[in-house]
Amino acid sequence: MNFQWYPGHMTKARRMMEENIKLIDLLIEMLDARIPMASRNPDIDTLGKNKSRLVILNKADLADPEVNQQWIRYFQEQGAVTVEVNSKSGDGISKIKAAVEEACKAKLERDRARGIINRPVRAMVAGIPNVGKSTMINAIAGRPSAKTGNKPGVTKGKQWIRLQKNLELLDTPGILWPKMEDQQLGLHIALIGSMNDELFASDDLAFELIKELQQKYPLVLEQRFDAVKDLQDPIEILQAIAVSRGCLKKGAEPDLVKAGSILIEEFRSGKLGRLSLERP
Ligand code: G4P
């Protein structure tokens, strides 16, 4: 499978982010906790140069809790204040304010030394499509304020959400596209559903998922599907899943495309368990 992918509106979204970044002090980098490497855009280091930085591992509820801790340590060792969050339920959202202050400590001290007091810190959330930027902004604001969904270029004037006296958040997130040059990372983006699903046949994607799970969580498939016990071949595994879920074509032939969609959906929604595809 080939994961090269370059959506047309990427340039426009990036330009918008470059414009907005001039307005902020703090860049909140949002990553998917299941794939922190693949969901990290290397351009962010250039874009966020001279800005304070906070890393948020979102969708922590879908990722392996132990691996979440490893990633938090990893990013903290690199000097980034890091928190794990479930923006959908609001779990961890309350930790963000304190983390923002910690991430901006140096900037606030610099301001104070120059005699600038009470100028609010201005922050922007940035990340790849679907990582949960709008959900998080809404959770922080306690109301729907950001436009949910992937619509780059929809800003009409700048809206700032006041989080506390000294902190404002731009309600339009910065959208970055993942780098798909590395096939493995591209595959991870596709598996969590942040790439257009129409680009792949779901059975092909499911074969790749089965191979990843066999390496990283060898028991997970048989815990969910009795029928795959003792099977090793990804095709046979998907066939067994198809039969067990009643995905059959005419002549009782297993429908691998349908079974592939089911397997991928169950992975994405956490029904297979809390699984991380990447470890530090
Ligand atoms: P974006 O702005 O970065 O593009 O992402 P957005 O907030 O639109 O979120 C994309 C999807 O991810 C949404 O699901 C959202 O509910 C879900 N999501 C966001 N944060 C979390 C999280 O921490 N945990 C979990 N489990 N899901 C999260 P959707 O499929 O578009 O809608 P729905 O299923 O919530 O109705």
Q: Give the Å distances, CA to CA, from 260 to 130, 139, 206, 210, 275.
A: 21, 33, 5, 10, 18
In this predicted model, what pLDDT tens digit does every residue of 206-231 receive, in sequence order?
999 999 999 999 999 999 999 999 99
Where along the chain do the CATH 3.40.50.300 domains lie? 8-171
The torsion angles phi and psi of 160, rounded to 5 degrees, stand at: -110, 135
* Other beta carbons within 10 Å of 274: 17
Predicted local confidence at residue 153, as pLDDT: 42
Q: How far apart are CA 226 and CA 169, in angstroms?
A: 48
CB 171 within 8 A of CB 159: yes
Read off the tokens for 30: 């949002």
* Other beta carbons within 10 Å of 261: 18
Report the atom number in ligand 1 closest to the C-alpha of 270.
26
Where along the chain do the CATH 1.10.1580.10 domains lie? 201-269
Letter string b/e over residues 46-81, b meaning 16 or more CB atoms within 10 A of that residue's CB: ebbeebbbbbbbbbbbbbbeebbeebbeebeeeeeb
Averages of pLDDT over each 10 residues, the chain, 280 residues: 63 82 93 96 87 96 98 95 97 90 87 86 91 91 56 56 81 81 87 85 96 97 94 97 95 96 97 97
Q: Does the Cβ of 261 fall within 6 Å of ligand 1?
A: no
Residues in the chain: 280
Q: How far is the CA of 261 from the centre of ligand 1 (A)?
A: 19
Report the atom number in ligand 1 closest to the C-alpha of 137.
7
Locate all alpha helices (DSSP H) within 193-231, ordered by sequence.
Answer: 202-216, 220-224
**Class of domain 201-269 as given by CATH:** mainly alpha
Residues 6 or more apart whose CB falls under 8 angstroms from that of 73 comprise: 280
The residue nearest atom 17 of ligand 1, judged by CA position, is: 132
Q: Does the Cβ of 135 fall within 6 Å of ligand 1?
A: yes
CATH code for the structural domain at 8-171: 3.40.50.300
Instruction: Tell which one of 39, 57, 62, 88 to mutate to probe ligand 1, the residue whose CB is within 8 A of the most ligand atoms.
Output: 88
Predicted local confidence at residue 233, as pLDDT: 97
Q: Does the Cβ of 246 fall within 6 Å of ligand 1?
A: no
Q: How far is the CA of 62 from the centre of ligand 1 (A)?
A: 11
Predicted local confidence at residue 91, as pLDDT: 95
Predicted local confidence at residue 101, as pLDDT: 87
Q: How far apart are CA 239 and CA 55, in angstroms?
A: 40
* Other beta carbons within 10 Å of 197: 13
Predicted local confidence at residue 163, as pLDDT: 76
